[in-house]
A and B are shown apart, each in its own frame.
Chain A
Amino acid sequence: MSNLIGKSGNPMEVTKAGRGLVDAKSEFLQASMRGDAFSWCGETKAATAADTVWMIRNDHPTKNLHFYEMTIKQDSSTVEAELHRVTAAYTSAGTAVVGVNLNGASGKVAQASAISDETGNTQGTVVRRFFLSTSEYTLDMESAVIAAPGQAIGLDLTVGGSQCYWSVIGYFKNPDEL
């Protein structure tokens, strides 16, 4: 019978019930520990009908950008929202939003163009369509909405409102690391 030895030479431990001990870190947590997880927050501002209230383009040359979660609050009673992926090149236009690294011990900067009230894009493929009320809405994308280098994810609202603000959390990851 052989010991299961890790890359660093440490042996794996096994309980009396035969269960191997594992350290279960989520992809999101691992990304943040590497300094690759960011948050982008839009300030309160008015939204016009058919506006792209936020769009974030992955400017990293090799890594994918995984979208983890979005929250949005706006003040119109019934609004159709469309989350879409833009693959065509476009010139960003609107209010730039600086990504905040979730790991304060990291000095990495997000290689992304995040824009509030983005007017430079043409709507791409709709990934998800949903309705918003005046309550805050959280869309859990569970890291499965992915923008490859050069691609962008954005949110369009069909109805405007006087106040709208949003937060998006995502992380970068090398696509060949499963």
Chain B
Amino acid sequence: MNFKGKSGNPVEVDSDCRILVDAKSEWLLASLKGDAYIWTNETAALAGDDTAMSVRNDHSSKNLHIWKVKLHGIAESQVEIYATTAVYTPTGTAVVGVNLNRTTNKVAEATAIYDDTAVAQGGIVERIRIKADTDYEVDFGGAFILGHDQAIGIDLETANSECHVSVWGYFK
């Protein structure tokens, strides 16, 4: 029996008897729908124990899946990545989310802040150490999930005269 798809196209099977599939990751599917974003700050200084970046999910019905976090500091530092659950008023330098799909004009329903002074640290999901002047990546694979009004926060223990943080995430 042959199988066909919704559009009537037949499924192909190769000479090793393996069905051919078009396997797209959640991340790519989200980007194709215009729902994937990166929030990244300008190079800036941070005091010790500051929240380098917070990103709050403001979408009323979709979850915000964190795909990965990229970090860089001019000084070595312990870093704590956590989820907040208490409602707070973001305070600091706003960071605009950039849609990774340049063919869509969707805007991120999120509030991202660099050097956020209002966010309270919640349950820590990663405690890591970045080396001086070295990029570090924390890969969550979309499994770090934020519901409505919940936020990811990233705190650096050591003062840093230069710091970059990028948060990659998608709505679903």
Contacts and interface: CB of A to CB of B under 8 A. Distances in A.
Query: Is A bound to B?
Result: yes
Interface of A: 1-4, 11-26, 28-29, 31-33, 37, 39, 41-44, 71, 73, 98, 100-106, 135-136, 165-167, 169
A39 B152 CA distance: 14
Contacts of A4: 3-5, 11
B22 A19 contact: yes
A31 B85 CA distance: 21
A32 to B, nearest CB: 4
B124 A104 contact: no
Given A29-B143, A167-B126, 11 more contacts: A1-B1, A1-B10, A14-B5, A14-B10, A14-B11, A17-B12, A18-B10, A20-B22, A100-B83, A104-B145, A136-B128
B156 to A, nearest CB: 14
Contact of B9 (A15, A25, A98, A167): A15
A20 B19 contact: yes
Contacts of B142: 29, 32
B5 A71 contact: no
Contact of A41 (B21, B22, B125): B125
A25 B124 CA distance: 25
A20 B144 contact: no
Given A2-B1, A13-B7, A71 B143 contact: no
A73 B131 CA distance: 12
Contact of B141 (A1, A22, A26, A135): A26
23 contacts: A1-B10, A2-B2, A3-B3, A3-B4, A3-B5, A14-B4, A14-B5, A14-B6, A20-B20, A21-B21, A29-B26, A29-B142, A29-B143, A41-B125, A43-B127, A71-B127, A73-B78, A73-B129, A98-B123, A100-B123, A101-B123, A165-B78, A166-B127
